[in-house]
A and B are shown apart, each in its own frame.
Chain A
Amino acid sequence: MNDLGARPVLEVREAGKRFGAVVALDGVSFAVEPGEVFALLGDNGAGKSTLIQAISGVHRLDSGTILLDGVDITAAGAMAVRAQGVETVYQDLALFDNLDPAANFFAGRELSGPAWLPRGLRLMRHRRMAERTRDLLDRLQVRLPDLDAVVALMSGGQRQAVAVARAVAFSSKLVILDEPTAALGLREAARVLDLIRRLKDDGVAVILISHSMDQVMAVADRALVLRRGRAVGETVPSAENHEQLVSWIVGAVGGRAV
């Protein structure tokens, strides 16, 4: 990293969003640095989903700004935000079950030629896509039993890994993971957490939404707790402040509910 190393990849300032009478976000601010795993915690309805949807361009904020590498993306749509290098892996994974991992990675951005033809009529570069896929999976140390098998035949963890790898495949700056381990067994969840650590080593920033406090403590560098649309606390998650985090989430102060 050069002298820009300190500059955050993502900066959210005073984000506000209402849905009718409901205040979904009320002045939330935070910043995520390159190679940082940033956890978003909070109960259902705390505003986590609204926040990531605002970042990924699905919803537009009513007030506040979102800066990506210093560029204002507050008003950018979903495709524009993706083009800027923010990938979101939703819980449904958006995989093509009937296609193999390589086809999933390159869906909509197939390597093909010649360039003067319209996109749909170009010839696919099968071998190059397969090579790139293998390289990427090696780099992320994702091991799949059969690279030619369709994704439908893979376990939940393998599918999650394919979805995450696809998200970082195209020089992504920031990956947003929405409950990546919710549907997984213990061992598969552990593998996905390993994968998140490797993204971090690769210099990709990660926003992680998770209900599992253990997982957040295991991989997150910092955690922000949302409650009823407000940021109620930010800390480095560790075993010592576990209770603090939980009390922020449930809205208790000093052991008393407020």
Chain B
Amino acid sequence: MTAQSRETLVARDDAGSAEPRPARRAPGAARGLTAALTALRAGPVVILVLLVVLLSVLSDVFLTLENVGNVLKQSAVICVLALGQLPVIVTRGIDLSVGSNLSLSAVVGALVWRDQGSATLAVLAALATGTAVGLVNGLLYVKGRLPHPFIPTLAMLTAASGLALFLSDSGTIQGAPPIVDEIGAGRIAAIPGGGEVGWFPTAALVVVAVALVLTLLTRGLVWGRWIYAVGGNPEAAVRNGIPVPAVLISVYVLCGLLAGVAALLMMGKADAGSPMAGSLAELDAIAAVIIGGASFLGGRGRVLNALTGALVIAVLRNGLNLLGIDPNWQYMATGAVIVVAVELDVLRGHLERRFRSLQAVSRP
């Protein structure tokens, strides 16, 4: 802000106090900024809608029920991982290990199924493995006083991946419980439009269920409020008596549990547990949360943001495939979308500061 405009602000300030204006009249500039901020908040959804519109014009196949089903099925794993990543990023953290965690959980689940033959045990083993990995991440970060969650989860990325390769003898463990296959690869025939087999993937129902539960947790529970408080101002959270260490550990545990859920989806999709099943999936998960509009600076981001981001990535991939474009372009396109999304976040911060200084000169 220039010295001159600062002066004008002060001048207007004085004029305002001498001659009170009606209380409800917000200046036009503030109204414009409010509109811009609302538009920015809707940005990721707008990107998704534009992509869908563009692709349905370019490709006849894109909007068919079968393809929509495919997109939903392919995006399910990213969606669940992104939903796990969301609370972590809200608390200013990051979990780089979810891909390796997925691989490890899938291998453990498949091994238990092969050796014990119990579907219940196999499912529980996969979920418990994911949760345990998350717990170790959280404990290393908080109790081990590592400077940034990047470090413990990076260590876990390689460690869990190594363990998965070791346990599986570097090979895919074939077979998965029928219930897992149904969840990961099945389609719901009861939803009409897909003939006898159906088009709507069961995996999408899992995503919806996880999203609903996470919405309840973050909006309804005190814990949900705490993760946003910790992300917004960690020091103030401590001063206000919020148990910050426990909150931080809990988000990594939850993230690990959801990596276990994603592992089940992956096992079902492949009818196997592969030690490479989750390679690089952590990048998709993090990208999804950021593209969806959560702030990497912490404190901002809702369930809908994570889902939107995951769908943007999945739709982009599917669309470029349908158009027969070299798969390598998909990665470059995803990179471009990440930059656009974060630029939108930066712009939002800038507009908020503008709005704040306008508030100081307008009457409440």
Contact A187 B16 (CB under 8 A): yes
Q: Is the CB of B221 within 8 A of A108?
A: no
Residues 143-185 of A, flagged 1 when their CB comes within 8 A of B and 0 if not, give: 1110000001111111000000000000000000000000011
Q: Does A99 contact B (CB under 8 A)?
A: yes
A195 CB–B CB distance under 8 Å? no
The answer to whether the Cβ of B53 comes within 8 Å of any Cβ in the partner chain is no
8 Å CB contacts to B: which residues of A115-133?
119-124
Tell which of B26, B229, B231, B247 has the most Cβ of chain A within 10 Å: B229
Tell whether B196 is near chain A: CB-to-CB under 8 Å: no
The answer to whether A153 touches B352 (Cβ under 8 A) is yes
Interface 9-residue window, one of B259-267, B307-315, B329-337, B355-363: B355-363
CB-based contact B233/A103 at 8 Å: no
Pairwise interchain contact B237-A108, C-beta atoms closer than 8 A? yes
Across-interface contacts of B246 in A (CB, < 8 A): 120
Known: A108-B240, A152-B352. A145 touches B222 (CB 8 A): no
Interface check A234, CB cutoff 8 A: no
B145 within 8 A of A: no
Write the nearest CB–CB distance from B64 to chain A, whole angstroms: 41
Is B228 a contact partner of A121 (Cβ separation < 8 A)? Answer: no
Q: Are A156 and B243 closer than 8 Å at their CB atoms? A: no
Q: Are A156 and B236 neighbours in the complex by a CB distance under 8 Å?
A: no
**Interface residue from A107, A145, A186 paired with B240 (Cβ < 8 Å):** A107
Given contacts A98-B228, A153-B37, 5 further A-B contacts (CB under 8 A): A99-B225, A107-B236, A143-B23, A144-B364, A155-B356
B235: Cβ under 8 A from any A Cβ: yes
Q: Is the CB of B222 within 8 A of A119?
A: yes
Number of interface residues of B (CB under 8 A): 42
B239 adjacent to chain A (CB < 8 Å) = yes
Asked if B359 contacts A153 (CB within 8 A), the reply is yes
- Per-residue CB proximity of B243-258 to A under 8 Å, as 1/0? 1001100100000000
Instruction: State A228–B229 Cα separation when bound (angstroms).
Output: 39
Chain A residues near B352 (CB-CB < 8 A): 152-153
10 contacts between A and B (CB under 8 A): A98-B299, A120-B223, A121-B221, A123-B221, A124-B221, A124-B224, A145-B364, A153-B356, A154-B356, A186-B13
| Central interface residue in A110, A184, A190, by most chain B CB within 10 Å | A110
Judge if B14 is at the interface, Cβ distance under 8 Å: yes
Give the nearest-CB partner of B231 in chain A.
Answer: A98
In the complex, B226 has a CB within 8 A of chain A: yes
B13 adjacent to A185 (CB under 8 Å): yes
Verify A96–B232 contact, CB threshold 8 A. yes
A97 with B233: in contact, given A110-B222, A122-B221, A122-B222 (CB under 8 Å)?
yes
Question: How long is the Cα–Cα vector from A188 to B16 in the complex, in angstroms?
Answer: 11
Please tell me if the beta carbons of A124 and B17 are within 8 angstroms of each other in the complex.
no
Distance between Cα atoms of A13 and B319 in the complex (Å) = 76
The answer to whether B233 and A96 have CB atoms under 8 Å apart is yes
Give chain B residues whose Cβ lies under 8 Å from the Cβ of A110.
222, 225
B202-234 vs A, CB cutoff 8 Å, 1 = contact: the mask equals 000000000000000000111111101101110
B68 at the interface (CB under 8 A from A): no
Interface residues of A (CB under 8 A from B): 78-79, 94-99, 103, 107-110, 112, 119-124, 143-145, 152-158, 184-188, 190
CA distance A79 to B238 in the complex (A): 10
B322 within 8 A of A: no
Closest to B37 in A: A153
**Contact: A158 with B364, CB < 8 Å?**
yes
B residues engaging A (CB < 8 A)? Answer: 9-10, 13-14, 16-17, 23, 26, 37, 220-226, 228-229, 231-233, 235-237, 239-243, 246-247, 250, 299-300, 352, 355-357, 359-361, 364
Nearest chain B CB to A184 CB, angstrom units = 8
In the complex, are the beta carbons of A157 and B221 less than 8 A apart?
no
A122-B10 Cα distance, complex, nearest whole Å: 47
**Please, how many angstroms separate the alpha-carbon atoms of A187 and B236 in the complex?**
28
Docked Cα-Cα span, A95 to B237, in Å, equals: 9
Residue among B23, B226, B242, B360 making CB contact with A157, cutoff 8 Å = B360
Complex CA distance for A107 and B239, rounded to whole angstroms: 10
Report A107 CB to chain B, min CB distance, Å.
5
In-complex Cβ contact of B241 among A99, A108, A154 (8 A): A108
Taken together as a complex, chains A and B put the C-alpha atoms of A143 and B20 apart, in Å, by 15
**B37 surroundings in chain A (CB, below 8 A):** 153
Q: Which B residues touch A157, using CB under 8 A?
A: 360
> Which B residues are CB-close (under 8 A) to A124?
220-222, 224-225
Report the nearest B residue to A79, measured CB to CB: B241
CA distance A256 to B303 in the complex (A): 67
Instruction: Please determine whether A155 and B242 come into contact, CB atoms closer than 8 angstroms.
Output: no
Is the Cβ of A187 less than 8 Å from the Cβ of B14? yes
Instruction: Report whether B247 and A120 are in contact in the complex, using a CB–CB cutoff of 8 Å.
Output: yes
B231 proximity list for chain A (CB < 8 A): 98
Which of B237, B240, B355 has the most chain A CB atoms closer than 10 A to its own CB?
Answer: B240
- Nearest neighbor of B239 in chain A, beta-carbon distance: A94
Chain B residues, Cβ within 8 Å of A121: 221-223
B222 touches A120 (CB 8 A): yes
Residues on B with beta carbons closer than 8 Å to the beta carbon of A78:
239
